[in-house]
Structure 1
Amino acid sequence: MSRTAVVTGAGSGIGRAIAHALAQRDWRVVVTDLDGDAAESVATALPHQDAGHESAALDVTSADAASAVAADVASRLGLHAWVSNAGISFMHRFLDAPVERYEQTMAVNLKGVFVCGQAAAREMVRTGVAGAIVNTASMAGKQGRVPFLSDYVASKFGVVGLTQAMAYELGEHGITVNCVCPGFVETPMQSRELEWEAELRGTTADGVRDMMIADTPLGRLEQPEDVARAVAFLVSEDARFITGEALAVNGGAYMD
């Protein structure tokens, strides 16, 4: 039986790597992103094209849009896994952080996980699928000692808590819910953050990058593929008795 996974925010970065990792492991992947063209580009480049990978534009803050994607996939293909990966970040000193930015961050990073997880779980229950849901949190969801990202920290702490709440209630349906907590991942989003943090610290992007590497015991920046492999494990049969976990995937940059 073909297994189908939906991945949000998969037009670039970690999401794209997750889509590739799942396709390599014989999943049919539905690549979604706010940028529909980016989603389509990723879907057409995935390995094992005979699996029938698809793409769709998806605004994860819209409950109606999430429900439509989940219902369509579940009805046509079967929905076996959903990865809520879409996320945004902005950097400000806490005293200067605009409320509007906070609202944007919470809408995408936390509300998006809520409405997508709800949509996916409803369809899994409706179709009798004991599926897997994985949310992308962050090591910033386990510690507040993260400069200039107060709204992001709040959203990711929320994702960790929401993951546990979902896991507790969905366990009776055989649905597992876990999250991954990446560290300093080398992505386009991180490139923007390097510039922002350098300006706030009065240093250079290379200087900030060196600080990140120095804070990581394994001695390098994390790659999107490092996160993707962990997600692939959490949706696999090997992880069927793991639920409610926040899996640290950060090279030791934060240990709990």
Structure 2
Amino acid sequence: MSKTVVVTGAGSGIGKAIATVAAQRDWRVVVTDIDLDAATAVAAGLDDPAGLGHEATQLDVTDPAQAAMVADDIADRLGLDAWMSNAGISFMVPFLDVSLDNYDLTMDINLKGVFICGQAAARAMVRTGRRGTIVNTASMAGKQGRVPYLSDYVASKHGVVGLTQAMAYELAEHGITVNCVCPGFVATPMQSRELDWEAQLRGTTPDKVKQMWIDDTPLGRLQQPEDVAYTVAFLLSDDARFITGEALAVNGGAYMD
């Protein structure tokens, strides 16, 4: 019997890789993104040997009504077996210069969005009797504060780790597992922007910043989106059904706890 997973922020980067790997593992994937064109392009390119019919839909993760509509629609039509809250943003600014507008936007998408979508998904799962799985994208920045120029991002990702544990505790009685992944230096469009920002802030070049990140990673390379996606695939699988409330580090050893 086919299973269905909704992935947010799946129009590019880590979310796209998660959708791709999930499809390869015979999941029906609902690709969501605030950019509908990007989501549609990803869904169209997913493997579908079993003819499951992957879908794409627009989703602003900060909109509770839209999140509930997506979760309820999928739960009623296809069965909502898993929800992957991946959408996120970042800005690199010294702490003293972080604007409240940027802080609010970071928290709205990275933390409130995880809360809104997690609540919508869990309500749909409980209503339809699904013992489902929720996975959130946190970060190694959610386990430490030693991350320069990303204070608002650090705060949001610490929040995701704590929220994941709270969700896991309360949803366990419904048979719903909740975990998060904590990636490191992942080669994505977001990282490309961060390389440029950090180089400017440090007065150096993006190549030198990239090498610094590689030097900070014991496995000796930048992380690829697929490294995260394979870990998420495990957390979505039956092999992980007795794992809940965990913040699983997948960062090549760049941060160990």
Flag whether TM exceeds 0.5 (same fold). Answer: yes
Instruction: Report deviation, 1:48.
Output: 1.1
Look up the equivalent residue of 2:96 and give its one-letter code: L
Query: Which position in structure 1 is the counterpart of 2:33?
Result: 33
Confirm or deny that 1:130 pairs with 2:131: yes
- How far apart are 1:2 and its partner, in Å? 1.2
Structure 1 unaligned segments of length 5 or more: list them.
none
1:137 deviates by: 0.1
Name the CA distance, whole Å, in 1 between partners of 2:21 and 2:112: 26
**How big is each residue's C-alpha offset from its partner over 1:67-119, in whole Å with a ceiling of 9 and x where there is no partner?**
00000000000000000000000010000111100000000000000000000
Could you tell me which amino acid in structure 2 is paired with residue 24 of structure 1?
A: Q
Tell me, in whole angstroms, the C-alpha distance in 2 between the residues paired with 1:51 and 1:232.
18
The corresponding residue for 1:12 is 12
Letter of the 1:72 counterpart: D
Instruction: For residues 125-184 of structure 1, give each alpha carbon's deviation from its aligned partner in whole angstroms, at most 9, with x where no partner exists.
Output: 001000000000000000000000000000000000000000000000000000000000
SS of alignment partner, residue 219 of structure 2: coil
> Could you tell me how far apart the structure 2 residues matched to 1:14 and 1:110 are?
17
Instruction: Structure 2: give runs of 5+ residues left out of the alignment.
Output: none
**1:1-256 equivalent positions in 2, closer than 5 A:** 1-48=1-48, 50-256=51-257
Give the Cα separation in 2 of the matches to 1:246 and 1:198.
Answer: 29
Could you tell me how far apart the structure 1 residues matched to 2:52 and 2:192 are?
33
The superposition leaves residues 176-232 of structure 1 with CA deviations (integer Å, 9 ceiling, x where unpaired) of 000000000000000000000000000000010000000000000000000000000
Distance 2:218 2:122 in 1: 37
State the distance in 2 between where 1:205 and 1:61 align: 32
Superposed structure 1 runs of 4+ greater than 3 Å apart: none
> Aligned-pair RMSD on alpha carbons?
0.5
TM-score between the two structures when normalised by the length of structure 1: 1.00
User: Distance between the aligned counterparts of 1:65 and 1:238, measured in 2?
Assistant: 32
Which secondary structure does the structure 1 equivalent of 2:62 belong to? coil
Give the whole-Å Cα distance in 2 for the aligned partners of 1:19 and 1:107: 23
CA deviations on 1:32-80 (whole Å, 9 max, x unpaired) are 0000000000000000161110000000000101000000000000000
Q: Percent identity of the aligned residues?
A: 75
**Matched residue SS, 1:196:** helix
The residue identity in structure 1 corresponding to 2:193 is R
Q: Which moved more, 1:41-50 or 1:98-107?
A: 41-50
Name the CA distance, whole Å, in 1 between partners of 2:97 and 2:125.
43
TM-score of the two chains, using structure 2 as the length reference:
0.99
AA aligned opposite 1:13: G
Of 21-30 and 48-57, the range deviating more from structure 2: 48-57
Alpha-carbon distance in 1 for matches of 2:40, 2:97: 38
